[in-house]
Every structure is written in C-alpha cells, then in structure tokens.
Chain A
Amino acid sequence: MPRNTLYDKLWDAHVVRQSADGTGLLYIDRHLVHEVTSPQAFEGLRLAGRRPWRVGANLATADHNVPTTERARGIADPVSRLQVQTLDRNCHEFGITEFGMSDPRQGIVHVIGPEQGATLPGMTVVCGDSHTSTHGAFGALAFGIGTSEVEHVLATQCLIQKKSKNMRVRVDGAIPPGVTAKDIVLAIIGRIGTAGGTGCAIEFAGTAIEQLSVEGRMTVCNMAIEAGARAGMIAVDEKTIEYFRGRPYAPRGELWDPAVKAWRELKSDPDAKFDKEVVLNAAEIKPQVTWGTSPEMVVPVDSVVPDPGKEPDSVKRTGMQQALKYMGLEPGTPVREIYLDKIFIGSCTNARIEDLRAAADVVKGKQVAKRIKLAMVVPGSGLVKSEAEKEGLDKIFKDAGFEWRDPGCSMCLAMNADRLEPGERCASTSNRNFEGRQGAGGRTHLVSPAMAAAAAIAGHFVDVREL
C-alpha cells in the first residue's frame, strides 16, 4: 500500500535527479515572473550568454509598481517606470509572454496565473515572490524563490531543492456564518505562529477546507508563507477541476480527460504519514483582526488587545511591547474600539471576484464613515475588474464612497503611489502587517474583505456576525 502525501507525490513526479545527500533537481512546469525580482536574473542570463530553457513555461506581468489610477498616463515615478520597462524589454528580448500594464489580462501575478489556467493541478509553480504558495490551492507544488533561483529556472527549467517535511493542518467542522477563508488562515497562524510551518510543506485539509470555494482555498494557501511554510497545498476535488474548464491555458479537446484523470490522483493517501499535524475546530473560529506587526499577533474581533505583561517568554514579550508601541495601542483595548483612517480591499490574498462580492454585500446602500480618509478597492486583475463591473459591484462601492481602482499590488506593499502616511491606521485585506509594509510608520490590521468593508462603514472594527 502506498502511503504518500500529496506533497510526496508532487515531489516524486518532478525529480529529475536525486543526489546522495538528499538534494533533488526538481523540474519546474510553470514560472511566473514580475518586475521586481526578475531584472537581475535576466541580466545574469544575458551576462552568461544563456537563453531561457523553455520559453513557453514562463508567464510575466507587471503588478507591484503599477499605478492604480490614470494608468494611460504611464508611471510617474521614474525608478518604478524603469523597472516596469525593464520587464517589458526583457520579455520582448527573450520571447516571454507578458501581460503588460495596458493588457486587459494584467493583474497580480498570483491572481492571473490560475485565472488563465496557467497554473494547473499537479504542476510545480515558482515565482520570485513568496506568495507563490497561493497556487498550491489546486493541488500544485508552488513556492516562492529568490532572484538567483529565478535565473536558475530561466536557464535550466529546474531548481536544486531539499525536500521539506510534511505537515498537515486540518480544519474540521462547519464554518460558522461570517467566518471566511481569511479568518481561518489567520486563526491557523495565530495558533501555530509565523514560524510554525518553517521547513514544512503544509497540506490544508479537513471538512472546513473542503467546504471552501477554490478562491477561499487560494486565500488560505496564500498565507502559508506567513505561517513559515514555503508551500501550502490542498487536494484536488471536483471544484478544482471545474474551475479550470475552459480557461485559456488549461488543457482542452482530447487533452482534457487524461488531465482530469491525473488530477483526481492529487490527494494524500488515506494513511499517509505527516511529520507534524495540527487540528482546528472550525466552529471555534471567529472573525479575526491582527493587532500587531506580525500576522501571528491576531485575536478574534470580540476580544481585546493582549497584555505583554502576561507573556512568560521574554523574547515574545519584547516583541509584543515593540509591536504595541509601533501600532499605538494599549493592552486591554477592545478590538471594536480601534478606529481607522484608511481601508484597503485588495492584494493576492483577497482581491478575487468572490472577495469583492463579499465586501460589496456589506457596503451596499451604506456610506463610508466620515473619519475614513480613503477607502479603496483594488481588483486583483483586469478580468476581475471587468467581471465586477459587469455585476455592478463598482457602482455599489463608488456609491458608498470607495475608490474603484485599476488592478495591481497597490497598498499591499506600497511600492506605487498608494500608501499610508506615518501613524495612519488601516484595515487591510492583504497578508502582511509588518512595520512600514503599507508605508513608513503606517499601521496595518489584517482582516477579511467583509470585515474591512464593515470597518469602512463604521469607522472602527465591528463584528460582521452582528450585521
């Protein structure tokens, strides 16, 4: 009886050669490229006189630096502009398909990969970006790499890798109303910590994960990296398969059936062995809000900012004190009394159509609170944007006082013009609340789209379960 995990199966299917010391040469099926982490890799390739090994395995887009307003005018910041132009030039020179800034399919790399069917079940997917873990939601082995590795993949279609440990996070039971994929993954990180998955590939499983839509599953896998794991993944089921039907890069015609047959095998064997296992009860998960500067600093919306004085571990205690100081918060403050300045609905975690629908549901017919200086919605891709407009979501947001922007990373990391000013407090649907992440001195609280939308209306956090 084979007793392999999904990760074991994906790994085994991609090993080109295995060295005695345990390192493997792993074949990469799909390489996604964006402007920030690729210029030095292309330059390295050029200097060594190399060409991409398999041009068709690469797909590029510009997302981090692109403006979300008046795009036709181009990029105002010359440094950002040069980086995006460099990607255009590199893709042109090496013959790589790129969804450039004015392409209707342009968007955040982790949104467009699946949307195009360019990431598929059973693939190895890499990108010079840590949130590549997102693509694991489809039973793929997907992980972020550095620029040296980007060059390595371009040149050889392979990566030198050491196998990670197998970890399973099971979330069992029915998901309570008002609780979303984002809350589930934040609760997981709160439980295991930001280093809880270090050295592991995490498989998310259990009845709650099965209930999630594929988009929700992407949200969960997206933040596997915030739990320290390079890769997060979820077994293939019928929802996964249906998702890919008819997508531009997905198999079609006579290739569809054999592909589906292979995809159905992409799950852990019933008695597969995991090195680590964590189980959560979905019924106990509430809407989550981060209070600190690490995603593990998270509490349910109906509780209070924790007290470092009660933390026995000295390193953790210092971390909590530093975080509270940066965030301008006092221990014991109810989460619902935290007032906000800005609202950001976007990012590769939560900017797909389902996320925008959830947010629009909450704001429909209401008004953004007076104290909110800016509430913005940044769709994950051009196609998400046009679908949302078709459904009239843009109108709902604009009527409520939100700004409706063009797709890109935007204020998830503030490399473009969208950012927090020092001291500003933001409810954000992104994935990182690090110091300065959304702008120097800015204070980020990570939440679900519905929670962010509700906070925009109230001006402070509210419990979406009570709406």
Chain B
Amino acid sequence: MKIFDKLNGLVVPLDRANVDTDAIIPKQYLKSIERTGFGPNLFDGWRYLDPGEPGMDHGKRRPNPDFVLNRPRYRGAQILLARDNFGCGSSREHAPWALADYGLRAIIAPSYADIFYNNSFKNGLLPIVLERDAVDRLFRETEAAPGYTLTVDLAAQTVTTPSGAVFQFEIDAFRKHCLLNGLDDIGLTLEHVDEIRAYEARRRKEAPWLFV
C-alpha cells in the first residue's frame, strides 16, 4: 500500500452529487488486466467530446473545454472536491486506480459510497469526509481563487485552507495507521494464520456443509 501522510495540493471542484463509478471510469476500460494506465480515461465521458475505446491514443482526442478537469487553472490538481455520495455504483477498483493514476491523492466530499471509500484506502487515495457546509465553503473558495490549494495532514486529521482555516476530519484508526505506514492488509492478516485455522476447525464441526 502507498504511504499517505501530508499533502499540499491544487484543488479541482467537481460540482455534481452522486458521481458514480461508471462516470469515473467507463466500462470499456475495465477490460484491461492491468492496474495502471487508467488516468487518461478518468471521467472519460465528460472529459472528451469524442467517444473513447481502449487502445486509442487519448492525447489525440478532443477534450471537452467545459469539463472542469480540462480547464488550465486546474491542471496538476491533486485534491478533488466533490459532492454527496461520491463513487456510488459498482465495486470496480478501477475507479480509485484511475483517480490515483491521474495524479489525485485526496478527495473531499460530504459522503461516499461504501465500497468506493474502502477501495480508495487500498490505493493510497485518501477520501476525506467534511460537513456539507465546509464543503460548500471550499467550493466557493476554490472557484473564486485560481491556484487555490489545501493542506491535508493525515496524522493531525486536518484540512487547512490558504487563509488558515482548519477543518478536522474523522477517520478510523486502523485505516489511518495503514495509510500512514503503507501497510499491506494481506500481510497483516497472515499474522493471524493460527486464529484463522482454529476458526476453520471449529466451523467444520459446527457447520460441516460449508466445507464440502
């Protein structure tokens, strides 16, 4: 797992609620058997005016000038500002892969869909939950000030604006610990091999039909 600790990054505002995983990375790119290379197709349907297929040279396609990620002032953004229920829809981990591959490191939204939220952590992408009022304020400030950046401090669980306003966020201790230290879940679980075996032995007796 990739380490996340502190970040000062340019913010891009995506002013839509219920952004689903089909919008984040459309299905035709899910045919890839790789974990990387999804960045050029992040928000593909909104980002380009012409339809995209895997294997195309996406640099040659026609970008949609109205889509926020294509506006020059947001080039190089590392923090995505979003609305409620971000990442709803499918379980595809291609969604956080695409966001991370594009260069985004953190998302700020009032709420996320569960599976997307979970998947993000596995890829060093930090989904931050802030109150709706705070998110509204960040949208206003970002849109008003080109070059607007935020500082995210995972250890302190804070988001700090250029003017020094600080927003505290919640995150569960286990996920925070894994992200700060870049720990691998499978490795952690395999420290408990004996307990897994003991559980299996007990269940085999209680419910043998589960093991046929």
Q: Report A's interface with B, CB cutoff 8 A.
A: 16-17, 19, 21-23, 25, 27, 29, 36-37, 39-40, 43, 48, 50, 53-54, 56, 64-65, 77, 79-80, 82-83, 86, 120, 122-123, 128-130, 132, 144-149, 151-152, 155-158, 160, 162, 164, 194-195, 198-199, 228-230, 249-251, 255, 258-259, 262, 294, 315-316, 318-319, 322, 413-415, 432, 434-437, 440
Look across to chain A and name the residue whose beta carbon is closest to the beta carbon of B207.
A262
Task: Using A145-B115, A160-B188, A294-B20 as known contacts, list a sample of 4 further A-B pairs with CB atoms less than 8 Å apart, ordered by residue number in A.
Answer: A144-B91, A144-B115, A194-B85, A198-B113
Given contacts A146-B92, A259-B207, contact A415 B27 (CB under 8 A): yes
Residues of the B chain whose Cβ atoms lie less than 8 Å from the Cβ of A194: 18, 85, 88
Query: Does B63 sit within 8 A of A, measured CB to CB?
Result: no
Chain B 169-212 interface residues, beta-carbon cutoff 8 Å to A: 172-174, 185-186, 188-190, 192, 195-196, 199-200, 203, 207-212
In angstroms, how far is the closest chain B Cβ from the Cβ of A83? Answer: 5
Size of the B side of the interface (Cβ < 8 Å), in residues, is: 58
Do the beta carbons of B172 and A162 come within 8 Å of each other?
yes
Residues of the A chain whose Cβ atoms lie less than 8 Å from the Cβ of B207: 122, 259, 262
Do the beta carbons of B17 and A160 come within 8 Å of each other?
no
Q: Which of A132, A198, A249, A250 contacts B111 (CB 8 A)?
A: A198
Query: Does B54 sit within 8 A of A, measured CB to CB?
Result: yes
In angstroms, how far is the closest chain A Cβ from the Cβ of B96? Answer: 8
How far apart sit A319 and B210, CA to CA, in the bound complex (Å)? 45
Residues of the B chain whose Cβ atoms lie less than 8 Å from the Cβ of A64: 30
Given contacts A48-B186, A79-B32, contact A130 B90 (CB under 8 A): yes
Residues of the B chain whose Cβ atoms lie less than 8 Å from the Cβ of A146: 91-93, 96, 115, 118-119, 122
Query: Does B26 sit within 8 A of A, measured CB to CB?
Result: yes
Do the beta carbons of A27 and B23 come within 8 Å of each other?
no
Do the beta carbons of A199 and B18 come within 8 Å of each other?
no
Look across to chain A and name the residue whose beta carbon is closest to the beta carbon of B203.
A27
Query: Does B40 sit within 8 A of A, measured CB to CB?
Result: no
Residues of the B chain whose Cβ atoms lie less than 8 Å from the Cβ of A316: 17
Do the beta carbons of B196 and A158 come within 8 Å of each other?
yes
Do the beta carbons of A228 and B113 come within 8 Å of each other?
yes
Q: Report B's interface with A, CB cutoff 8 A.
A: 15-18, 20, 22-23, 26-28, 30-35, 45, 51, 54-55, 83-85, 88-93, 96, 111, 113-115, 118-119, 122-123, 172-174, 185-186, 188-190, 192, 195-196, 199-200, 203, 207-212
Do the beta carbons of B16 and A318 come within 8 Å of each other?
yes
Residues of the A chain whose Cβ atoms lie less than 8 Å from the Cβ of B51: 440
Do the beta carbons of A319 and B122 come within 8 Å of each other?
no
Do the beta carbons of A198 and B54 come within 8 Å of each other?
no
Number of A-B contacts (CB under 8 A): 190
In angstroms, how far is the closest chain A Cβ from the Cβ of B14? Answer: 12
How far apart sit A198 and B86, CA to CA, in the bound complex (Å)? 11
Given contacts A145-B115, A199-B114, A319-B16, contact A415 B30 (CB under 8 A): yes
How far apart sit A39 and B146, CA to CA, in the bound complex (Å)? 41
Q: Which of A48, A65, A436 contacts B22 (CB 8 A)?
A: A436
Do the beta carbons of A16 and B15 come within 8 Å of each other?
no
In angstroms, how far is the closest chain B Cβ from the Cβ of A416? Answer: 10
Residues of the B chain whose Cβ atoms lie less than 8 Å from the Cβ of A434: 20, 22-23, 89
Given contacts A129-B90, A198-B114, A415-B27, contact A156 B195 (CB under 8 A): no
Do the beta carbons of B200 and A413 come within 8 Å of each other?
no
Do the beta carbons of B208 and A27 come within 8 Å of each other?
no
How far apart sit A217 and B20, CA to CA, in the bound complex (Å)? 25
Residues of the A chain whose Cβ atoms lie less than 8 Å from the Cβ of B17: 315-316, 318-319
Residues of the A chain whose Cβ atoms lie less than 8 Å from the Cβ of B211: 56
Look across to chain A and name the residue whose beta carbon is closest to the beta carbon of B208.
A255
In angstroms, how far is the closest chain A Cβ from the Cβ of B85? Answer: 4
In angstroms, how far is the closest chain B Cβ from the Cβ of A41? Answer: 9
Q: Which one of A198, A199, A319 has the highest number of Cβ atoms from chain B below 10 Å of its Cβ?
A: A198
Do the beta carbons of B22 and A129 come within 8 Å of each other?
no
Do the beta carbons of B210 and A29 come within 8 Å of each other?
yes
Q: Which of B35, B85, B195 contacts A16 (CB 8 A)?
A: B195
How far apart sit A160 and B186, CA to CA, in the bound complex (Å)? 9
In angstroms, how far is the closest chain A Cβ from the Cβ of B8? Answer: 27
In angstroms, how far is the closest chain A Cβ from the Cβ of B101? Answer: 13
How far apart sit A78 and B119, CA to CA, in the bound complex (Å)? 28
- Give 6 closest A-B pairs by Cβ, nearest first: A251-B209, A146-B119, A39-B33, A148-B122, A146-B93, A144-B91
Q: Which of B31, B118, B190, B199 contacts A80 (CB 8 A)?
A: B31
In angstroms, how far is the closest chain A Cβ from the Cβ of B178? Answer: 9
How far apart sit A276 and B37, CA to CA, in the bound complex (Å)? 41
Q: Which of A37, A83, A195, A415 contacts B84 (CB 8 A)?
A: A195
Do the beta carbons of A160 and B174 come within 8 Å of each other?
yes
Look across to chain B and name the residue whose beta carbon is closest to the beta carbon of A122.
B207
How far apart sit A147 and B55, CA to CA, in the bound complex (Å)? 22
Do the beta carbons of A128 and B91 come within 8 Å of each other?
yes
Q: Which of A36, A199, A230, A432 contacts B92 (CB 8 A)?
A: A36
